[in-house]
């Protein structure tokens, strides 16, 4: 009896040991799966970085500033800054941020192989925070430009920069959201902005945001410092359009009507009476001298509710509608003047300011 008990206990112990071995092997299998996933992730990031690194450049800029006192004007003092960019044509055109090169007196580019070249500013567009510069150099490898139309939330996103001119800085994350809007330094709203949690290191502004295939889907532009993990990139589709205009014209031409306005809610009785699609509008508070809006008969206090057939719920809607296609073309504008709804005709002119 005692022997049987011992045998039984030994059998149970053996079973426990056997189960322990099985569990250990299962754990090792899970570990192998995790390692394989990590290896695949690492390979995607390193592969994209290797493809892009020859195209990513460091940009150093210098500006002259003079200091004044009441009686003394001091000698100009050189101020500098840096950022990143990437080559997108074989003949030396480089995309970067407007805030990196705006008002620069000297721009120097350092290539990934260590070569340095002075760059010329082709044009910059503060409204989208994009700029194009150009260098004269041989054996350049342009980046592959993708399309932001195929980008999906949750896909791998890799931010690459060249902040010090020695080697690429790489961070990885996912696309957090699409179609975001971000206020540019000029005051206009940038549309079709990609949000990602791929951290932007100092000096990475203007660098590319790429997919695991090494295709550029955005130009890194900003991060919200108090909110950890919120970084933004101008979509590559917007960048393609802006770069084309900058190369062709040196700037992006937009239309304007010459008003200063503010967003205001509409009285509910007017919204119901006219069956308006929006409950807010743009209140005209002032005009530019000899502005198209003044010539069209608009007045201070008018509420703009539609422009060229599109609803205007705020100043950003108006900015989006003031494209170069409307320059010199008569378009309808609908306003509320008191309790009366009026339809006027206006001919936008070419914009030279950041106002509407």
Q: Is the pLDDT of residue 70 over 70?
A: no
Residue 255 near residue 322, CB atoms below 8 Å: yes
Q: Residue 323: CA atoms inside 13 Å, Cβ hemisphere, count?
A: 9
Q: Where in the chain is the domain with CATH 2.40.10.10?
A: 54-134, 145-247
Residues with Cβ within 8 Å of residue 225, at least 6 apart in sequence: none
Domain 54-134 indexed as CATH 2.40.50.100: no
- Residues marked as catalytic: 99, 129, 205
Which residues lie across from 110 on neighbouring strands? 58, 116
Q: Is the pLDDT of residue 349 over 80?
A: yes
Domain 145-247 indexed as CATH 3.40.50.10800: no
Q: What percent of the chain has pLDDT over 70?
A: 80
Look at 18 and 206; give whichever has higher pLDDT: 206
Report the topology of domain 255-350.
Pdz3 Domain (2.30.42)
Q: In the predicted model, what is the mean pLDDT of residues 209-215?
A: 93
Q: How does strand 116-125 pair with strand 106-110?
A: antiparallel
Confidence of residue 65 (pLDDT cuts 50, 70, 90): low
CA 240 – CA 247 distance, rounded (Å): 11
Residues with Cβ within 8 Å of residue 353, at least 6 apart in sequence: 256, 288
CA 33 – CA 31 distance, rounded (Å): 5
Q: What is the pLDDT of residue 14?
A: 42
Q: Where in the chain is the domain with CATH 2.30.42.10?
A: 255-350
In the structure encoding, which two tokens stand for residue 86, read together? 């990437």
* Phi, psi dihedral angles at 287 (to 5 degrees): -125, 150
Determine which of 178-187, 239-248, 312-321 has the lowest per-residue pLDDT on average. Answer: 178-187
Look at 165 and 155; give whichever has higher pLDDT: 155
- Region of residue 128 (phi > 0: left; psi between -120 and 50: alpha; otherwise: beta): alpha
Give the CA distances from residue 25 to residues 18, 22, 303, in Å, rounded to whole numbers and listed in that order: 11, 5, 73
Q: How far apart are the first and last CA of the chain?
A: 99
CA 36 – CA 34 distance, rounded (Å): 5
């Amino acid at each position: 009896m005692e022997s049987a008990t011992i045998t039984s206990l030994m059998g149970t112990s053996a079973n426990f040991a056997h189960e322990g071995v099985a569990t250990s092997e299962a754990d090792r299998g899970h570990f192998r799966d995790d390692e394989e996933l990590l290896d695949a992730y690492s390979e995607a990031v390193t592969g994209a970085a290797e493809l892009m690194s020859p195209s990513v450049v460091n940009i150093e800029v210098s500006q002259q500033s003079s200091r004044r006192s009441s009686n003394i004007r001091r000698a100009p003092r050189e101020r500098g800054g840096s950022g990143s960019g990437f080559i997108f044509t074989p003949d030396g055109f480089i995309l970067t941020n407007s805030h990196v090169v705006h008002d620069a007196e000297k721009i120097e580019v350092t290539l990934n192989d260590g070569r340095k070249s002075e760059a010329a500013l082709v044009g910059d567009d503060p409204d989208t925070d994009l700029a194009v510069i150009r260098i004269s150099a041989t054996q350049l490898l342009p980046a592959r430009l993708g399309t932001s139309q195929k980008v999906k939330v949750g896909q791998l996103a890799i931010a690459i920069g060249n902040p010090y001119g020695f080697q690429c800085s790489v961070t990885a994350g996912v696309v957090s959201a699409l179609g975001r809007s971000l206020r540019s330094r000029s005051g206009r709203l940038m549309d079709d902005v990609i949000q990602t949690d791929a951290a932007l290191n100092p000096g990475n502004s203007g660098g590319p945001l790429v997919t695991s295939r090494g295709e550029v889907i955005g130009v890194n532009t900003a991060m919200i410092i108090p909110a950890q993990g919120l970084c933004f990139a101008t979509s590559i589709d917007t960048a393609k359009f802006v770069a084309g205009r900058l190369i062709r014209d040196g700037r992006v031409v937009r239309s304007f009507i010459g008003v200063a306005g503010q967003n205001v809610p509409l009285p509910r009785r007017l919204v119901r009476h006219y069956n308006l699609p929006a409950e807010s509008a743009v209140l005209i508070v002032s005009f530019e001298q000899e502005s198209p809006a003044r010539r069209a008969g608009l007045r201070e206090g008018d509420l703009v509710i539609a422009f060229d057939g599109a609803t205007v719920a705020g100043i950003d809607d108006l900015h989006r509608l003031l494209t170069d296609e409307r320059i010199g073309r008569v378009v309808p504008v609908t306003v509320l003047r008191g309790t009366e709804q009026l339809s006027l005709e206006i001919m936008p002119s070419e914009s030279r300011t950041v106002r509407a």
